[in-house]
Structures are given as structure tokens and as C-alpha cells.
Structure 1
Amino acid sequence: MSSLTLDRPPSPVVGSGARVPHAIVIGSGFGGLAAAVRLGARGYRVTVLEKLDQPGGRAYVFRQDGFTFDAGPTIVTLPKVFEELWSVAGKKFSDDITLEPIDPYYQIRFDDGETYTECSDLDAMRREIARLAPGDVEGWERFLAKSKDIYEVGFEKLSNVPFGSLASMAKVLPDFIRLQSWRTVHGLAASYVKDPRIRIALSFHPLFIGGNPFAVTSIYCLITYLQNKFGVWFPRGGTGALVKGLVGLIEGQGNSIRYNSEVAAITVEGGRATGVRLASGETLAADIVVSNADAAWTYGKLLPAEVRRRWTDKKLDNARYSMSLFVWYFGTKRQYRGVPHHTILLGPRYKELLRDIFDRKVLAPDFSLYLHHPTATDPSLAPEGCDGFYVLSPVPNLASGIDWAHAAEPYRRAIAEFLGRTVLPGLDENIVTSRIVTPQDFHTRLRSVLGAAFSFEPVFTQSAWFRPHNRSEEVDRLFLVGAGTHPGAGLPGVLSSARVLDSVVPHGADLARES
């Protein structure tokens, strides 16, 4: 097929007669959708290009046999970041989205059957800590105070800072030192409480953003305060309702999303991003390009090697990538009313299992699981009388060499057997629909390097300035959003990466005058 080259499309004209600059956003994950909304509000005509047949990226929605499964994010922990996006677009969040509170937040089930329940009531939490570890109540309270301090600096002050220079990094080093950011999440928790179970309960959260609690910077202890301050929420209709709402904002601004449109390359002339070339051969011109693709994929696959000075092939090869995920979505013909919305089921090992996943990169016979039960909150996501679930197991990324074409089904069966004898009795005979996602799917469907579920691992040496910058270091007028850039993975992180664009992308009218 011969390639089709499109000249710069004619732009709409504002009242002054000025040209409206064109922005291309690669990928319609939450970071890309949020970027498109913000760019639309800042005077750009925006085209979002999505490889898949519907929006969402990791937040894709699977629908089968009457069940609705959110593929990726499952909860909202900071509603204000969504409310701000709707406000930017001149809309009211609550007109489109209904958030249901989840309380208790989650239950941890230890291998011996003991449980720990996290909830919003601090007095109830004191009783829960005292029940398991009476000597740790005072330490737990001090940890919460520390978590608040970390949140106020690590998120409120720094999540929207571009970190485009070493000077910007040097400016916050005193805060990092004061907050003991050189310590790991588990290390900081362990300095406050002694019981191994409470240490786990205070430190497992980085696993939801791709980090090993024994390796990532203690800045991520802010998650504890974040959930206690703002709560844990589930959008009615699932997180896919948020994706649909953001698409509505973009289209309401007069902008568009093109599906089945995989970007093969970012075009560069004179050190400046000028548009993209699609896998079909079609080229599209743009004044700026924003990539919500995996950051390592953006640099290693979409930009030519000759324009890359920092993110060279060698640097990308030597980077540390997050673990991947094995996710099994399934529906049952019965309801499990006693199972909470979120359950974390721990296996017999914790630290050693994480070492197998992150360092040794072997598929261990044991596992720890996150069980998501959305129909506990929103029964409309399953046929009447049925239940929908997804169970997630952290696993090594594709650097492990695991052949998931052969390993997936035995692994699924082992998980099903475990769930059936613990929290979902009679599971096997009640399953009516099933789907699995493996690290190979993260690589082939989502174009994630090594099938890493969260891009670069959020260790200190790959955070803030050390992470790929929101304004590309390599090419002018190229910008990055999403899990692989600052501030990192998770819904608050990727939406904050789009907010950073407000400080590094020129306003559309200013760019039009420059042109």
C-alpha cells in the first residue's frame, strides 16, 4: 500500500481570524484523555489516536455474556482530580458521574486465615490495630501523621512540578531528605510498627502502581493518607463510565478520537515533532504531539535513534521496569454476598515472593492476589442473580522468558482452586464467563515494553527528574503523559501528568502567533 501524506489540515478559525493549532494525542488512556481535555480548553484542536477499537487503554472495558469488566483501574481515591477536569471543560462532574463510597476500603486475608480490615473510621482502625498488635497502635498513629506530611509535599507540592531540570530537582532535595525519601515504603512502615502483618498493611500499596514495597521510595507512603483523607470510591457503571465521560468532554469541545489508528512513528524535522505516521502509512501533521503511549515504547519505537541523546537504546535496555500482571476476569451464576468489594489474599510468603517477581523473575508456585468484586457495589455490571469479579496476580514481566501461551491456563486453574477453598466456595461449578490477560497482552495489545504493567519501576533513581520528562528532553514540541512520566502510575498520578502540561505547553493562541 502506498503511504498517504496529508498536508496540515485546515484549522478552524477563531473570531480574530487566527489559526487554531493542532495537537495530536497518542493513546486514549486516562492520561491521554485528560491531556486532550486540557489542550482543548487551552485553545487547541485535538485529535486523539487510539490503537484499539475503543477508548481507555489500560482502562479498556470488556463486555461479554452480559457482564461488564473494567480491564484496569478499579477505584477512585482522589475525586477532585476528575472534578477539576470537568470544570476545565466547563462541565460539572456530578452531572455525568455518580461515585459510590466503598467502606470498608478493603480486607486483607493473611495465609493463616486472619484478616485485617481497613476503613474510614479512625476509632475503628485503632481497635483493629489493637486486636492484631496492641503494641503498634501508637506507632500506627505516628505513621499516619508522617503519611500526611509526605502527601502534602510529595503530592500537593510536587506532583504538578515538571522537573525539567536538575535545578528543579535540587530545589526539592531538602524536602526529600526531611521526609526520609531514601528509605523504602516497607522500611519506613517498619520504623513505626513491629507486627509483620501491620507492616504489610501499611506498605503494600505501591504494588498498585508497579512498585516493590521493599524497593520504591517512601514518598509513596502518601497513599495511606490520601485514601484516609479523600476516601475510596467506585463510579456507578464502573471506571469505564469515567472513560465515557471524558470522551464526552473531548467531543463536546469539538475534538475527536480515532480508533483502530496505531501510531508507528512520531515525525521529526529540525529537532521538532511535526506529527505522526500511522501503521497504515497515513501521516498526520500537528503543531504539538502528546504521547500517552508507554514512555519506553515512545522513545524506543516511535522516535528515531538519531534524535535520542538521553533515552538511548542502551539506557532503555538498562532501565528497571515494573512487574506485570496476570488478570482473570470471570462471572458466576450465583452471588457471593459476604465477599467485600476489595480483598487482598496473601500467600505463605511476602518478601520472598516479591523478590521472585521483581528480581529473580520466576513464576513462583505460590501467589498473592487482589480480588475485585464490583458487583458488591454495582449489581448492574452483571446479569440479575450473578456476580462479576476480577482477580489480579503480580507476576514477572517478559524479561522472565515465561511462555504465557502454555503457562496461563495452569496458572488460572491454580488461582481458581485457591479462591474456591478460601473466599469463593463452589467457584468452579458456578463460573459462566471467563477471560484472561497476561504480560504478553500488555506487550502486544498495549505496546508496553517487556509487558510491564506500569512502565518504569518507581524506584528513587527513576522518579521525578530521573523519570522521562513531561516535556521531552529529546524533541521540541513533544510531551509525555501517563504512567511512565512524572509523577507516575495510578489514576491520581496519570491525571496529574496531564495537569503538568498546563505549565509546559504553550497556550494555543500563543503558539498560533509564533507560527
Structure 2
Amino acid sequence: MTADQTDSNAAIVIGAGLGGLAAAMRLGAKGYAVTVLDRLDKPGGRGSSVSQNGHRFDLGPTIITVPQVYEDLWATCGRNFHDDVALRPMDPFYEVRWQDGSTFTARQDTDAMLAEVARLSPGDVKGYKRFLKDSEARYIVGFEGMVAKPMHRLWETIKVLPLFAMLRADRSILGLAKARVKDPRLQMALSFHPLFIGGDPRHVTSMYALVAYLEKEFGVHYAMGGVQAIAQAMVGVIRSQGGQVRQGVEVDEILVEGGAAKGVKLTNSETIQAELVVSNADAGHTYQRLLRNQPRKRWTDKKLKSRRWSMGLFVWYFGTKGTAQMWPDVGHHTITNAPRYEGLLKDIFIKGKLSDDMSLYIHRPAKTDSSVAPAGDDTFYVLSPVPHLGFDDPVDWRNQVEIYKAKVQAEVEKTMPGFADLISTEMVLTPEDFRDRYLSPNGSGFSIEPRILQSAWFRPHNVSEEAKGLYLVGAGTHPGAGVPGVISSAEVLAKMVPDAPAMPELKVAAE
């Protein structure tokens, strides 16, 4: 076996986020010798965790939908996902609360959901049934038909335009909800899901109504041990394939010669050679930083600056002492609403203004997973969507973090009275931390916003135009953000990368 032959099977994956780890698994299944490089101390990227005073803070995604994308990934590697990861179905999925004391509990059972709609607004039951049909139709076209399909050729997008027109993909998800139900609370409950992938419901395409079908058809789950447990299991598969996962090393540049990727240079000046390079770093960071010394044909700095980026996130993680039996009405997932819905969205996405009112997602994983906190205690995170850092007058979080945290505290007190006096440990992430920890342009939580003209062919492609042998996975490329999306981006990659070159058999001469 020659050195050249070894190099032809080498592949580098930049970033050990879930998209990068999934890409490494699929490349390993194709016979590549994969090296994953990541600057953090744990795998998982935004799905990693921090342990502090006996509490595990799961930093990013908290729910698992569409389990079959993981099952398929593991099966491709000759493994059974459920042997490595324990999923716990959620019932209910989550509870939505409004300022007037009304609530909406989301469940998988259709009759239970119809009862919830009837309880809030009896006149909207018929419209909700229509919304469910809308959701299924969009799932068939948008998820089954496009998510795991390469979209780097314009023709692939053009082919679906008639179906998009028939389904009114030009209408926003909020516009679709308004067309189906009249109660403002239900309009919010049916349209807020794009916020989980960084999109403004007033502008994100109605195709994202498919999320309602995903939840109803496949359920909402929690991975015991958090999403970090999935990431660790993925590392285990990669290593069983002979691959490497190196933490605490940062890629400074993708090396390109003659228009083709040749490897990477690390910030410690180490170089690693490979003719197949996959970037799970944000697409903006990949092009602006990692290819900064190369001329770019499509994703120039000017074009990236002109994109609309997803919102930022303020996330307050805290542990509380002796609260396991307190606030019994607060479940695993709770969403509290500000008095304004559309006005708050406009402040976040258009004005770049940090509002006094806020909508919050409260995550209480100890309701399901006792490993997140010491016995009798609780671990929480409270997430507030906020503007990203790319506005002309961005929020100065060094001066605002304590002020804003006090406002969040006052809001959480309405749901969990007295919680602040019981906090035993805490930490906060702001958009500035997302920028510095995850190298996310503008400190955005989910890369480029998933508007219709920033999706499919219009999004950074999984196969790069800027260098032969360079590919992209993760939230900033097709199909987009959200855990199923980034896992599926690796499936798209696998459809474009050929199997590793077969190695010649070694012949031992007879003595």
C-alpha cells in the first residue's frame, strides 16, 4: 500500500457538530479514513453540554423528532441506533401559555389536539383539520421529496416549483395559520415552530407547516443523557470504523491547490492532507474565514453580508436546590408568550431591537431524566429569541446581559414563583457567545434564515463551487437547521461522494 493510496482514502471533517459527526459516519461506511477536527472539548457542537456543580446543562437542541433519520444513519453503518441511544417519548410534547392564563397542550393524539382547539376556540376546529391536511401535503413534498435530496443543481428546485405554487409556498407559515384559524392564540401555536430553526414565522414559507405533521406522525422524543449522549454515541461509531475524532484543535484554513481541496491547516500550524474535506463549520465561516485566501465565485463576502441571518439567542442555564417537587404544573417543555406576537417578531428580525417583553422557552429535563441534576434538585434552561449582531446598532451584551437577565427572571417568576432564590449554579450564553464559541456569523443561533429564497438551490450547496473536493454539511447548507436537517445534510453528502477507492490486495510472495 503506497502513501498515495492511503491519501486517496483520507477524509477530513471540520467540526464535530451533529452534521459533521453524521458525515463522518457515512464517509466511514463508504470506506474513508476519516479525521474529525473540533475546537470544543466535547463533541456535539451546539448539541454539546457543560457540567457544573452536579448539573448537566444541555446547551442546544432538546427534542428529537423523526427518529428514523437516526435509525437510517446507524443502519448505514451496520449498527442499531436504539442499542446506543435511549429515546423517551414525550407526552405531552409541550405546553404553550399566554398572559391571560390560557394554555394549549400539544400531544400526538389527534383527538386530544382537536379537544384542545375546541376548548380554546370551538369555531376553529374545522380550520385546524384543514391545517393538518396542509401539513401532511407539505411533508410529502418538502420532507420526503426534498430534505435528503441534493439541491445544488438549479433544475432540482425548478422541478418542484409547480408543487410549491399549488401549496402556496409563497405564503408564510403565519399567513397559512391565519387563513385556517381565527383565534390569535391558535395562530401562534400553529406557526411558531420555525423559531426553533431560526426563522421569522411572518416570512418563513408555509412549507414549514410540515413540522406539525412530523410531530403528530412520529412523536417528540427526548434522548436520555441529552443530545450530548447522541453525539457521544456517534463518536463511538466513528471510532469503531477506524476514524479519529480530535477535540481541542481548530482549523484555521482549508488548503486549496489548483482549485481543489488538499487538506487543512490548524491554528497551531499543523497541516493535515486529504483530497476530501467536509466543513460542518457555519457556511459563512467556511467561506469568509477558512477560504479567505482563495478567490470565491459565488459566496463572496458581499453576498454573505446580503443574506438574512437567523435570530440570536439569550439562554440562561441554572440549577435549583430542592425543587424537584415544586411547580408541579411546569413540565419538561413550556413556552410562555409575550403580550405581542408579531410586534415582538418584528423587533427581533427586522428592527434588531431588544424588547422589554419576551416569549420564553423553559426546559426542565429533570422531569424526564434524573441524570441532569443531583437528587431532589432541578436543572433548567430558559431561552429567549433576541436580535443577532449583524444590525447597524447591535445589542452590546457586555452591558446588557445582567439587565436583560433581570427582565427574564421577572418573566419566569410568573411561571415558577421564588425560583431565583433557589438557584445554586448558573451560566448564560448570548449572541456574542454563539459568535465566539461556535464561530457563528453575527452570533446567529441557526446560520442563514430559512426563507424561501434562502432554501434549496438558493442556500449554500452541499458540494462547494469554490474548490473541488470540498463539501458542506450542517445548519447553513441544504436542507437547513434543526437536528433532522443537519443529520439529513450528511445523507445528501453521501449521495454525492463516491465510495472510497478500493485498496489493492497485498500479495505475499511464496518463500
Please classify the TM superposition score into its range, dividing by the shorter chain length. over 0.9
Pick aligned residue for 1:446 from 431, 434, 438: 438
Pick aligned residue for 2:332 from 337, 341, 346: 341
> 1:381 maps to which residue?
372
Query: What's the CA shift string for 1:389-409, capped at 9, x where partnerless?
Result: 101000000124211111111
Counterpart of 2:387, as a letter, is P
> 2:88 maps to which residue?
100
| Alpha-carbon distance in 1 for matches of 2:451, 2:380 | 31
Question: Any idea what SS the aligned residue of 2:78 has?
Answer: coil
Query: What's the CA shift string for 1:404-434, capped at 9, x where partnerless?
Result: 11111111121112211x2111111111110
> 2:406 maps to which residue?
413
Of residues 388-397 and 304-313 in structure 1, the stretch that sits farther from structure 2 once superposed is 304-313
Counterpart of 2:49, as a letter, is V
Of residues 33-42 and 303-312 in structure 1, the stretch that sits farther from structure 2 once superposed is 303-312
1:497 matches 2:485:
no
Query: TM-score w.r.t. structure 2 length?
Result: 0.95
> 2:235 maps to which residue?
247
Question: Where does structure 2 lack aligned partners over 5 or more consecutive residues?
Answer: 505-511
- Asked if the contact 2:65/2:214 (under 8 Å) is kept, the reply is yes
1:361 matches 2:352:
yes
Counterpart of 1:461, as a letter, is L
- Asked if the contact 2:10/2:32 (under 8 Å) is kept, the reply is yes
1:168 matches 2:168:
no
Report the Cα offset of residue 338 of structure 1. 2.6
Q: Mapping of 1:113-192 within 5 angstroms?
A: 113-192=101-180
Query: What's the CA shift string for 1:83-117, capped at 9, x where partnerless?
Result: 11111121111111111111111100012121111
Question: Any idea what SS the aligned residue of 1:297 has?
Answer: helix
> 1:276 maps to which residue?
264
Question: Where does structure 1 lack aligned partners over 5 or more consecutive residues?
Answer: 1-8, 14-18
| Alpha-carbon distance in 2 for matches of 1:305, 1:211 | 32
Query: TM-score w.r.t. structure 1 length?
Result: 0.95
Q: Mapping of 1:29-48 within 5 angstroms?
A: 29-48=17-36
- Asked if the contact 1:307/1:475 (under 8 Å) is kept, the reply is no
- Asked if the contact 1:186/1:200 (under 8 Å) is kept, the reply is yes
Counterpart of 1:388, as a letter, is T
Cα RMSD, aligned residues only:
1.7
1:395 matches 2:386:
yes
| Alpha-carbon distance in 2 for matches of 1:187, 1:263 | 42
Aligned length: 500
Percent identity for Structure 1 against Structure 2: 52
Report the Cα offset of residue 304 of structure 1. 3.1
Report the Cα offset of residue 306 of structure 1. 4.1
> 2:452 maps to which residue?
460
Pick aligned residue for 1:265 from 241, 253, 263: 253
1:308 matches 2:296:
yes
Report the Cα offset of residue 476 of structure 1. 0.8
When residues 510 and 269 of structure 1 are mapped into structure 2, their CA distance, relative to the original with a 3 A threshold, is farther
Of residues 32-41 and 167-176 in structure 1, the stretch that sits farther from structure 2 once superposed is 167-176
Report the Cα offset of residue 307 of structure 1. 2.6
Report the Cα offset of residue 511 of structure 1. 11
> 2:508 maps to which residue?
none
- Asked if the contact 1:42/1:507 (under 8 Å) is kept, the reply is yes
1:203 matches 2:191:
yes
| Alpha-carbon distance in 1 for matches of 2:388, 2:18 | 22
1:404 matches 2:397:
yes
Question: Any idea what SS the aligned residue of 2:334 has?
Answer: strand
| Alpha-carbon distance in 1 for matches of 2:149, 2:3 | 34
> 1:58 maps to which residue?
46
- Asked if the contact 1:20/1:45 (under 8 Å) is kept, the reply is no
| Alpha-carbon distance in 2 for matches of 1:474, 1:61 | 34
- Asked if the contact 1:271/1:307 (under 8 Å) is kept, the reply is no
- Asked if the contact 1:11/1:22 (under 8 Å) is kept, the reply is no
Question: Any idea what SS the aligned residue of 1:413 has?
Answer: helix
| Alpha-carbon distance in 2 for matches of 1:511, 1:36 | 20
> 2:480 maps to which residue?
488
Structure 1 segments (4+ residues) deviating >4 Å: 9-13
Report the Cα offset of residue 510 of structure 1. 6.7
